[in-house]
């Protein structure tokens, strides 16, 4: 009887120990260390930086890397380090440039075209911007060239510099082929061991985010990065619904005169003109025989990224032709060969958003490219990856959610 009782007690104790052990077993490990939602330039570079850090990374996008409606889609983007007094962006542009060159070197077709970049203008706003750009570059020991009107007329004969007093030229910068860059980066990411999935992501709905729901099923991860461009307000309406402002931007491509080498890369740089009222017009040479590109950097009307009209307006075309007639007289009657409507996804003042979600400590929000973000993709990815990996990492104050207001007052150009 005593032996039986001792056996029963032992069995009870063993059962209790087993039960405690079962309760102490941690839940299964998340399938991924980090899931990155959005395969534009910010999301793709964040995923790649995380992969390089040894993390198991899943990259998700609803329509594909640099798709037609993405802010990272389209043909080309300017890369430059002249940012007036905003030294932080000068530093980021210079730090990102070697990454773009390396990506271009291993791609089948060029991603970076070293056309040089020319900023020019006259008047108080232009003078202050150019002077501050020169000051920042010289203080940091970076190359930049100040040009007067006579020098610009001699070197860039396609441009009519009437009314222009000064310019700055960055020979080592130029154009990035946007769609090709992002698609190449994502392909490299997958070949190196990252995972990509095409799926639509539902807005997070739980107080502790351990998984997200997608059209392809549930995704579990330790950390999530949302880099969804103009769709960020849809996923986080409370935090970002009134702090990210998608605007409609029109782009035009024109055929240069036949056989006119003045519009070819190497003769015409990427350029930006401060001399057209309150607008800043910018453009590119005839890259890869696609046409002379021109666009107005002024913020357009609000756009819904899903349903917004993607047809260029007659007024936008008329404005582009009027500008070309003034500044590029040989293009006065040029044939229009292509138009495009994309969007900027602006923060209140043009600074990026790279910060943790205020309620989800394992969620990083990345956005606010504001029309100038593409060139900074490698550095944005590095900063976002650091926040995702290191709980002690602190965001750059200018990129914090707390600095994003509900009224647009653009301060970064």
pLDDT at 21 over 50: no
The whole-angstrom separation of Cα 102 and Cα 123 is 39
Q: In the prediction, which pLDDT does 205 show? A: 81
- Mean pLDDT for the stretch of residues 176-190: 98
Q: In the prediction, which pLDDT does 278 show? A: 59
Confidence of residue 276 (pLDDT cuts 50, 70, 90): low
Q: Are residues 80 and 170 in contact, defined by beta-carbon separation less than 8 angstroms?
A: yes
Contact residues for 172 (Cβ-Cβ < 8 A; gap 6+): 97, 114, 116, 143
- Is the pTM value of this prediction over 0.75? yes
Distance spanning both ends of the chain, measured CA to CA: 89
- In a 13 Å sphere around the CA of 302, the CA atoms on its Cβ side amount to 7
Query: Which phi-psi region, left, alpha or beta, contains residue 38 (left: φ > 0; alpha: ψ -120 to 50)?
Result: left
pLDDT at 1 over 50: no
Q: In the prediction, which pLDDT does 275 show? A: 75
pLDDT at 20 over 70: no
Domain range summary for the chain, segments of one domain joined by +: 32-403
pLDDT at 147 over 90: yes
pLDDT at 15 over 50: no
Contact residues for 152 (Cβ-Cβ < 8 A; gap 6+): 118, 120, 159, 161, 164, 167
The model's pLDDT over 330-367, given as tens digits with 9 standing for 90+, comes to 999 999 999 999 999 999 999 999 999 999 999 999 99
Confidence of residue 11 (pLDDT cuts 50, 70, 90): very low
Average pLDDT, the chain: 92
Q: Which of 230-234, 276-280, 320-324, 362-366 has the lowest mean pLDDT?
A: 276-280
The whole-angstrom separation of Cα 260 and Cα 274 is 26
Q: In the prediction, which pLDDT does 279 show? A: 75
Q: In the prediction, which pLDDT does 110 show? A: 98
The whole-angstrom separation of Cα 63 and Cα 84 is 36
Of 3.30.70.260, 3.30.9.10, 2.70.150.10, 3.10.450.350, which CATH number belongs to 32-403? 3.30.9.10
Q: Are residues 284 and 292 in contact, defined by beta-carbon separation less than 8 angstroms?
A: yes
* 211-214 CB contacts, 8 Å cutoff, 24+ apart: 212/35, 212/37, 214/60
- Mean pLDDT for the stretch of residues 265-273: 97
The model's pLDDT over 193-210, given as tens digits with 9 standing for 90+, comes to 999 999 999 999 866 789
Q: In the prediction, which pLDDT does 274 show? A: 86
- Mean pLDDT for the stretch of residues 93-112: 97
The whole-angstrom separation of Cα 82 and Cα 101 is 19
Q: Are residues 373 and 380 in contact, defined by beta-carbon separation less than 8 angstroms?
A: yes
- Mean pLDDT for the stretch of residues 140-164: 97
Share of the chain above pLDDT 70, in %: 91
If we measure between CA atoms, which residue out of 181, 153, 49, 121 comes closest to residue 413? 121
Between residues 275 and 80, the one the model is more confident about = 80
- Mean pLDDT for the stretch of residues 314-333: 97
What count of other Cβ atoms lies within 10 Å of the Cβ of residue 81?
A: 26
């Amino acid at each position: 009887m005593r032996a039986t009782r001792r056996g029963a007690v032992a069995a009870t104790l063993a059962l209790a120990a087993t039960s405690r052990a079962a309760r102490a077993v941690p839940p299964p490990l998340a399938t991924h260390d980090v899931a990155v939602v959005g395969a534009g330039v910010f999301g793709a570079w964040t995923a790649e930086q995380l992969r390089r850090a040894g993390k198991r990374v899943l990259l998700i996008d609803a329509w594909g890397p640099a798709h037609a409606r993405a802010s990272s889609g389209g043909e080309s983007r300017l890369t430059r380090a002249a940012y007036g007094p905003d030294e932080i962006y000068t530093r980021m542009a210079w730090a990102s440039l070697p990454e773009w060159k390396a990506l271009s070197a291993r791609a089948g077709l060029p991603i970076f075209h070293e056309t040089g970049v020319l900023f020019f203008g006259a008047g108080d706003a232009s003078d202050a911007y150019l002077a501050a750009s020169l000051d920042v570059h010289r203080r940091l020991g970076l190359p930049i060239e100040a040009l007067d009107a006579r020098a610009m007329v001699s070197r860039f004969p396609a441009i009519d510099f009437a009314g222009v007093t000064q310019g700055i030229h960055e020979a080592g910068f130029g154009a990035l082929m946007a769609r090709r860059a992002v698609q190449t980066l994502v392909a490299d990411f997958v070949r190196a061991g990252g995972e990509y999935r095409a799926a639509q992501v539902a807005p997070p709905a739980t107080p502790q985010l351990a998984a997200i729901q997608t059209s392809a099923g549930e995704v579990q991860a330790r950390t999530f990065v949302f880099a969804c461009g103009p769709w960020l307000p849809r996923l986080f309406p409370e935090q970002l619904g009134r702090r990210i402002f998608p605007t409609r931007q029109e782009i035009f491509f024109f055929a240069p005169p036949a056989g006119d080498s003045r519009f070819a890369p190497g003769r015409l740089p990427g350029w930006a003109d401060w001399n057209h009222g309150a607008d800043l017009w910018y453009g590119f040479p005839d890259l890869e025989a696609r046409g002379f590109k021109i666009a107005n950097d002024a913020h357009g009307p609000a756009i819904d990224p899903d349903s917004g009209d993607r047809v260029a307006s007659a007024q936008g075309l008329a404005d582009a032709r009027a500008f070309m007639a003034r500044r590029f007289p040989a293009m006065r009657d040029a044939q229009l060969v292509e138009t495009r409507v994309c969007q900027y996804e602006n923060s209140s003042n043009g600074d990026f958003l790279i910060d943790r979600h205020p309620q989800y400590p394992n969620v990083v929000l990345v956005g606010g490219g504001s029309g100038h973000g593409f060139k900074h993709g490698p550095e944005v990815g590095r900063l976002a990856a650091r926040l995702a990996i290191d709980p002690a990492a602190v965001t750059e104050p200018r990129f914090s959610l707390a600095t994003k207001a509900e009224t647009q007052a653009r301060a970064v150009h």
